[in-house]
Each structure stands twice: as C-alpha cells, then as structure tokens.
Amino acid sequence: MKAYTITRDNLGAWLDALARDYTLIAPVREEETVSLFKPVRGFAEINLGYTNSTVSPKGWLFPQTEEMFFFSTGGGQITLADAQTPGPAVLFGLRPCDIKGILALDPVFNGAYQDCYYQKRRQDTILVGLSCTRVERHCFCTSMGGGPTDGGGADLLLTEMDDGYGIEVLTPRGEELVNRYQQYFDADRENRVIPAREELGKKLAGQFTRNVDTTGVKEFLDQHFELPYWGELARRCLGCGICTYICPTCHCFDIFDQSPDGELGVRSRCWDSCMFSHFTRMAGGHNPRPTQKERVRNRFLHKLKYHRDRYNLDGCVGCGRCVTRCPVNIDIRQIIADLQEVARHD
Amino acid sequence: MKIQENLRETARKLLADGEASLVIGYAPGSEVSRVVPAFISREDEVDRLVWNPLCINNLAKYLLDYRHEPGKVAVVVKGCDSRAINRLLQDNQITREKVIILGIPCPGLINPDLVAARLDPGAQITVAAVSEQDFSLQTEEETFTFTRDEALLKKCRDCEQHTPVIADFMLGEEIPPNDPADPFVAVKTLEELPVEERSAYWDKQFSRCLRCYACRNVCPACTCRECVFDQAEPCWVAKANNLSENTAFHLIRAFHVAGRCVDCGECDRVCPVNIPLSLLNRKILKDIKDLFNVPTPGTSLEELPPLGAFTKSDPDEFM
C-alpha cells in the first residue's frame, strides 16, 4: 500500500479543505477533561492531542438519537417521508481501538440484517485513523487483539512523525481521497512512514500498565450462566448508562414516536442501555431481567461471549473508557481476571 | 489508621453479635486510586474494609436496596454523606431502627487523579494519614506525600461538616468545622453574567449530556419508585437526546431535589462528561437559604425541608 507524508501546515490546510467539501467529524476538546467527536468547521476547532475521547465516535454512524422517518395520518391515510441523511462525511482522527469498535458494529447493522440507516452513513463516511502517541492508564487494546498503531479497518491511517504526519493508504477509497487533495501530500520516497509507525508501536507496547489475559474466559462462560459472582458485582452497580453510552461497541436502541397532535410526527431511534431497569420490561410488566444482577451479567456476557458467538469478534476493544468513568469501579479488566479465578476454583 | 481498625472491629462485633446482617463500607478497588463500595456480611471478610482519603462514594443510598431485609444494615458515612441519612429518614425511605450508622469524621479527601498519576496502579495503600498540611499515602514500596493545597478534592474545600451529623458509632475524634469558605462563589460568579451568557453557558453544558442518568441514580434525594424520566405515558421528557430535552431533564431534576439536595457532590463526581451539576443544585440551595434561612438539607433530623413542611406562619403572598 502507498504511503505519503504531510507537513503540519499542510495538515491544517487539508483539514480546512475537508471541512469545506465534506461533513468533517473530528475530536474537539470541551472543558479541560472532556473530548468529543463533533462536526467541525475547520482545523482550528480540532484537538488531535487527545488520547481517548470521552465518548466513543460511534455516534456518527449510530447517532444517539436518529430520525428514521416522518409520518402523517391526516385524511385516514398514512403518509411516510424519509428523514434527511447527512451525506458524504469524513470521520477524522479515529484511534485504532475505535476503528475496531466500528468493525465490531458492522456485522450487527450491516451483516445478515441490513440496517439502512447505519449502512447509508457507513457508506458515506470515510474513516481516517490516527495512531496513538500515548497509552492511557486504562488502555488495554493490546489484550483485546488490537494495538495503538494498528489502524486496520480505516481508509487512511495517520501517524505523527517528527516533522509532520505519515499517511498510509489502506483502501481504494482512502487512495481516492488522497488523490483528490494531492497538493497537500508528498510521496514517502524514503519509505519512512511504515517503519516510523512500527517503531512507535513497539515503544507504546511497553507502556501498558495492565495486561489482561482472556484465555478460557469465553469457554468458561459458555458453560456457566449462573454465577454468584454476578450478584456480588451488581450490588454496587448504580444501574446508570455510562458504560454502555461511552462504549464503542454497545449498540442497543429503542424506537419511539413523537407526535404533538397525533397526526404529524417523527419516528426516531435512540440509544438504550441494558443497565436500565426498564430495558427489557414488557408491556404487561414482566421483566426477564428483574434485578441488576441479570443486567450486569448481560453486559459482560455480551462483551465476552455473545458477540463472539454471533460474529466471532470480541465485544470489547480495550479502549478503557468504562474503566475510567464507572462511578463504582466496575472494571472489565478486573472482571476478566476474577472470572479466571472463579474458573480455576470451579 | 486508628479509624480503619475501629471500623473493622466495630463491623466484626456487629456481625458476630448478629446485631447487623450487613455492613456497607469501602474496600480496595481494581487499582490503587480507587475504592469500591463493599458489602460485608461475614466476619471473615471484615478485614477487606478500608478507610483512606480515597473513600469518596456516598454509600447512604445503598440502604434503599436493603430496606426490606429482615436484619439491620450498618453503613459507613462521612460528614457530607451523613446528611443523606437524615434526608432518607425524613422521607421515610429508611427506618431508623433498621440502620446502624458508622460515622467517620473526615478531614477531607484526595483527588484520585493525582494519586493515579503518581502511584503504581497495582500498589496497595498500607497506611494513609492526613495532616493539616498534607496527605501521606504509604504503600509496600514507599511513601507518597501530597500537599493539601494541590490534592484536596474540590468538594472538600468548602466542607460544611467533617463530623457526621448522625451516627450510632463515631469511629474517630470529632473534627470541628472549618472556618467555612463561601460555597457559593462559583454560583455568584455565574449569577452576575448577563442572561444570554448564562444561557449559553448552560446550553453548552447540557448539549453534551448523555442522559445516562448516573446523576439521578447516585443521588440520595432521588428515591421515586418510578422516575418521571422513565415514564413513557405521560411523556414529560422525550427520550430524544437534544438540547431542549436535555435542558428539561436537568431543570426538572434540579427543581425536584430542591430543598432536599444534601450537597454531597456525587452528581458532579459521576457525570461522565463533567457537567457541573453541583453548580445547578447549589444555585437552588443558595436561593432556599436566602429565602428561608435554613441550614443545608439533612443537617438536622428535626429540621424539615422548607418546601416539604407546613407551618401556619408561612407567608402566602403568592396565593
């Protein structure tokens, strides 16, 4: 695959051009400690120095609230109208774990069942990855089959170098994008880009504070659905939606209508969370997950077992967001270690 | 570490005598900078209990999960958390005879991010000490000192009650209240802004709300059996995440806990996108104090919340 380099000045000019020609979604710093992926008007708004955004960038492809269609029921007729879709977009500056998160969502929305909303956004969006330059204390992507410079799944991968950035073209769509803006890029004549990324990858690999060994965990969970462990863990769970909403692979949603007069309205879908008590509550009041124990178990089985059963992919990419933000320190790294301990005593 | 020893001994005795069936306290978390709420029901687990300057969580609300259990439940509270106990008692959410309050006079907590930045995440704190000048955390390897100025948790800077306002066992020496810093400085600064700027400030904060409801779920004033935000019919606030609905969520919540928010700071702590929720609640707290001249809710068991009490002398000029 081809590689290019770009100077810092040209990167700014390129991003300004991308913002003019596409909807550009990039990491933005809000307040001191929050960084979020948002539509930007140009380079000046972007913060590429982030390590891990507070909320994962999945929301561009699977928005927290997405209008599906409009309806009217006037005159005894039901008329539907499509909701607007955003059109061509560039999702810029994705960290490798978040690219892997998108790859984990693809088979859910874009596999055996084709979800037209996700599919449209996914087709219309070019993914530009950005190799990590730091490892945060809760990062554990290397334990989940990823790596801080492993940008597979993106169309282009940027890596910061001493004098600018290296760009690797990973797909034909990435190639097209580079060709369209070729005035900003220089060919990587000395073949520096890939070695620089590999070097960075090696350096960062030694900075992970905690390695997680998932060996045997899925196989154990295959055999053990009921474990007292889940009940113990659930005692402290607040039942909030933090972990599911900031997660790059959680994808549950609810569908609801809004219609002030009952005649004109919109049907939307919005994120839902298996941590919420009413998530599986049925119309008659029955709830197959009546307590937090069943809900907590569901989330971790989804991450460590169900996603692998269904798609042969890990449901967790090791971004560490839930570890950082859980108010009661429910830490998936610890859960994996605990389950191994439980398995040893089984 | 005297307090930690007292705590373990008291818990051991309560469980051994069958006085309590459960003790809710703190245990070491998955890394050195965190503790977890711990639920201890066996004597041989008592030594998991810790007390150190990282014990931030307000544990009072967990009492609701055990209110229908036959036995008594003991819970560890700091000064700030203890107001939540009074709050829950006043709302008849818990029964006084069924809870055992293990009060810990708390000299102030440490910002866990600073601890995480300096200590090996896998270390264990063996000794923790707090003086007027600094925090000292000892691990198996070495001792780390943080000056109080740099490391004191934000919410502890204007702590009202170091010593719990209600307790069955006081596990340490009473700590007299500080010369209190004005807790409303940030509220006043915001109040002075022109209305457009204030509105823009909150719009920016509320726009990034995820509606994860962590602020509600952690709040000791939020005890409704079914929350309005979970109701589909009538739909007071739609599930849609946008500025309008998010603003409605936060304002309804702030008004709902008005006069009942004990200012424990938990909503602020748990918000994953750092919305300064205590500022919103403190605005109302300040207004209520100005209007009714009452202490912070939960300070006294006898003092009913001004919006929840009736007296014949209430002025009724608004009627």
CB proximity A328 to B under 8 Å: yes
**Residue A70 has what pLDDT?**
97
As given in the structure block, the two tokens for residue B200 are 């823009």
Taking an 8 Å cut-off on Cβ atoms, the answer to whether B31 and A331 are in contact is: yes
As given in the structure block, the two tokens for residue B138 are 């000892």
**Residue B179 has what pLDDT?**
72
**Residue B111 has what pLDDT?**
96
Chain B residues in contact with A235 by the CB 8 A cut-off are: 37, 39, 62, 65
CA-nearest residue to A336 within chain B is B30
- For the segment B89-102, the average pLDDT, to the nearest whole number, is 96
Pair type for strands B22-28 and B35-40: antiparallel
Asked if the model's pLDDT at residue A13 lies above 90, the reply is yes
- For the segment A207-218, the average pLDDT, to the nearest whole number, is 93
Q: Of A61, A138, A181, A160, nearest to A316 (Cα)?
A: A138
**Residue B234 has what pLDDT?**
85
**In which band, very low, low, confident or very high, does the pLDDT at A75 lie, cut at 50, 70 and 90?**
confident
User: How many of the other CB atoms lie within 10 Å of CB of B9?
Assistant: 12
The interaxial angle of helices B277-292 and B243-256, nearest 10 deg, is 40
The interaxial angle of helices A292-301 and A228-236, nearest 10 deg, is 110
CB proximity A212 to B under 8 Å: no
pLDDT in tens, A141-185: 999 999 999 999 999 999 999 999 999 999 999 999 999 999 999
Asked if the model's pLDDT at residue B70 lies above 70, the reply is yes
- For the segment B44-73, the average pLDDT, to the nearest whole number, is 96
Asked if the model's pLDDT at residue A80 lies above 60, the reply is yes
CA distance A244 to A217: 21
Percentage of residues of chain A with pLDDT beyond 70: 100
Taking an 8 Å cut-off on Cβ atoms, the answer to whether A273 and B212 are in contact is: yes
User: How many of the other CB atoms lie within 10 Å of CB of B129?
Assistant: 15
Residue environment code for A196-209, b if the CB has 16+ CB neighbours within 10 A, otherwise e: bbeebbeebeeebb
**In which band, very low, low, confident or very high, does the pLDDT at B247 lie, cut at 50, 70 and 90?**
very high
Asked if the model's pLDDT at residue A50 lies above 60, the reply is yes
CB proximity B174 to A under 8 Å: no
- For the segment B266-270, the average pLDDT, to the nearest whole number, is 96
CA distance B233 to B272: 28
As given in the structure block, the two tokens for residue B285 are 């707290």
Taking an 8 Å cut-off on Cβ atoms, the answer to whether B36 and A246 are in contact is: no
The whole-angstrom distance between A6's CA and the closest CA on chain B is 33
**Residue B304 has what pLDDT?**
87
pLDDT in tens, B173-226: 999 987 767 889 999 999 999 999 999 999 999 999 999 999 999 999 999 988
Residues 152-181 of A with CB under 8 A from B: none
**Residue B319 has what pLDDT?**
58
Q: Of B244, B29, B132, nearest to A236 (Cα)?
A: B29
Q: If you average pLDDT over every residue of chain A, what do you get?
A: 95
**Residue A346 has what pLDDT?**
79
Poorest-pLDDT segment among A138-142, A145-149, A283-287, B28-32: A283-287
**Residue B180 has what pLDDT?**
67
Chain A residues in contact with B121 by the CB 8 A cut-off are: 137, 209-210
User: How many of the other CB atoms lie within 10 Å of CB of B132?
Assistant: 7
CA distance A16 to A7: 14
As given in the structure block, the two tokens for residue A306 are 């169900």
Asked if the model's pLDDT at residue B1 lies above 70, the reply is no
